[in-house]
Amino acid sequence: MKRFFKPIEKEGSAKKPLLSPSKHGAENGDALPEVDVKKEPLKFLTWNANSLLLRVKSNWPEFSNFVSNLDPDVIAIQEVRMPAAGSKGAPKKPGELKDDTNSSREEKQILMRALSSPPFGNYHVWWSLADTKYAGTALLVKKCLRPLKVSFSLDGTVSKHEPDGRVILAEFETLRILNTYAPNNGWKEEENSFQRRRKWDKRLLEFVVQSSDKPLIWCGDLNVSHEDIDVSHPEFFSAAKMNGYVPPNKEDCGQPGFTLAERKRFGAILKEGRLVDAYRYLHKEKDMECGFSWSGHPIGKYRGKRMRIDYFIVSEKLKERIAECEMHGKGIELEGFYGSDHCPVSLQLSEGCKEDK
């Protein structure tokens, strides 16, 4: 663990910024190794791994080769599904992997061994984890890049993590990167999932409006398909029900992630935050082969049913620098998904002008 996690200097220090705002098992005060430092990241990758440990055990050679070829500066991962450190009944440490039992130590070793092998050994790693094998996010940043600050909540508090480890926010000299795993809207009002998602969207809106002082790149599994063009079968998803249940509010009806209420709130976040959907900015037409990031199970009623719920959202002031934004999976057989039900999505920015920096 020591080779991956090092603390960021406390506020007010005159020293160079260090790696992480939490200990992460590193020796306190260790500075980043001397490397050629880049001012800002230009190439990004986001992926809902649907259990990072399972991907390491089953799909790692293929995914490693993909990352080596793409060579992103930043990798944002959602649904890590690794539990936070802390023994039973004790406070958890969401920035550290659990290793207080034989099974958790073995799983941690498997995961860290994979992240020390090429190309991942070229990255520093930050975690934000749930108490159990649920949700969680990770952020990998090339060692030649030095974030000024890394935090784990929408209010920017370094020591505080969002419930279930749903946020990692990295601030660089010229921009911020926000990696989020949005909570699923769910099917029923009485299970409080609707309320949970409404609160999340409200807080996201507040964050993007209040963070307009610096360009933002917001990525991850946002669990919403904004327009009809963002799903393969709009009628199917609009009419979807769970066990015949129909919510009392018509705007809450349909597939979670494609309800009218969620789509309206997402649109409001983009509009009021002055944000641009990078993929749709470049790709105006529906692409039934490569235009979706999530695919239903190849067997059953969701076969061939796909949604675009993984995004790169950027500040309007960055839109002229969007060079590429691609989804790397295709077809109903989940080619390029590397074992997950989500495929990786990438963003490439062109270099900014000196005045922008």
Domain annotation for the chain: domains and CATH numbers:
43-356 (3.60.10.10)
**Could you report the per-residue pLDDT of 254-304, keeping only the tens digit for each?**
999 999 999 999 999 999 999 999 999 999 999 999 999 999 988 899 999
Burial degree of 49 (CB within 10 A; 0-12, 13-18, 19+): buried
Q: CA angle, corner 325, sides to 322 and 331, nearest 5?
A: 165
- pLDDT > 70: percent of the chain: 87
> How would you classify the pairing of strands 310-315 and 322-327?
unpaired
Over 90: is that where the pLDDT of 77 sits?
Answer: yes
Residues 161-201 have pLDDT tens digits of: 999 999 999 999 999 999 999 999 998 876 688 999 999 99
pTM given for the model: 0.89
The tens digit of pLDDT for each residue in 105-122 reads: 999 999 999 999 999 999
Helix-then-strand count for the chain, H and E? 7, 16
Distance of alpha carbon 23 from alpha carbon 20, whole angstroms: 7
Q: List residues with catalytic annotation.
A: 181, 221, 342
Q: How far is Cα 282 from Cα 322, in angstroms, rounded to an integer? A: 8
Section 208-232 average pLDDT: 97
Separation of alpha carbons 105 and 87, rounded Å:
12
Mean pLDDT over residues 229-255, rounded?
93
The closest alpha carbon to 6, from 113, 98, 95, 103, belongs to: 95
